[in-house]
Structure 1
């Protein structure tokens, strides 16, 4: 029978290995319990959803906007009204509209007095639409525009305007601008920027095209716009820029850029297709 030699180091190595493994297991278990203890909250309850639901239940159904009715809108001056509304016809004398500096044309009209001029401007006369086609104009703004135009022609209606103003009311806004020299050009107050066609239309073209003055095709009238569109956009641009029949160049507002006028044509054509 063979004799097996025993390794004197086998037992100590085995025991040492078991000790190392046990120590490692102990460290791992201790670390696990420490992590659980650090990241847990004893006795706390997660109420996140309950808080969100409560906030949703008590949020306002709507909002209320208060307006101070004691603050009146700022009135436009006579020059601003003329530039935004009246210039389309009066600058070029469309359909015999008296030009601002044409004293002879204004003389028989001024003879009616400010009240008569205001009545004609408010209700419309011949081809001129009521309030120049802008129903938002107030009586005071319309009065100031008349005083401004007649002042450029050499007539002073400011005293009549002051007499007609309500007691304690402010003097007509046109009084501050009536002394402007006739040769001074009015800067466009509502001129469209960046070629905005609709804004240009509302500021310069609407006076004739809304009411069909002098057979101007009304906005949205497909039957009237059809044959004009058939002539091509280049022809429409040329007519608008240089004038055609009773329509003055650039609708009577020479301060408009070519791009603005073309944009307004594009807008009207888009509504007439």
Structure 2
């Protein structure tokens, strides 16, 4: 019984050279192809942009910003879209607190049926959880700008209201027609002031001589309640966007664990989706008074 002869696969010097070259070339080609594949996509690791210019600038940016405006410069009115994005979008984009969603024809249909005048009246004076002017003041946005925002939202939700007419230049400035009219007006104002002063003096004289109590705390509470009604109520009355509900002890309990200075800081500089000062231009003292008013109701 004989065995079959075993032959080597490499029988010539040329085959040996080809095998050696292939043993080195094939791995090199594979490595090059893998490197080329990996470099074709950009992968950003967590934290690798921590020293980027934009990231550093956002970290060191001051909390307060100063805007210098020329009081004599002509007023440039905001468009309806600009007012919507700055004021109305917080509630009307998600439909928070019963606000009709922007672009939702079904939500807006019954409101549009009331007419433009009714919509503008509600926007200026407030309705339900929406504060007057969306929580802003006439110094922030004029009636004309609020009207443009109303038309912008309504027209994107099924209405076809025309653009409100811009106020005439100097329409808010009233001057006396003649020097005689000015003098007459001044005399009338002086007489009215004198009568008021006489009535005030008589009322003061009729008061008892007991010392009057200090009204500073009452004024503080009144200012807090007024700002809450105008601004804070829009979100805190219904607990919109995670805001603690007014008077709800359970919502306020974890927040009241922080010092009052910390709570004041949140209200003044913003926290989460709440903008600084609730999006208003109220003074720091009034904002703190509103915080005290809400905190006292939750204790």
Greater relative CO (CA pairs within 8 A, separation 6+): 1
TM-score tier, shorter chain, comes to 0.3 to 0.5
Between structure 1 and structure 2, the one with the greater Rg is: 1
The TM-score normalised by the length of structure 2 is 0.38
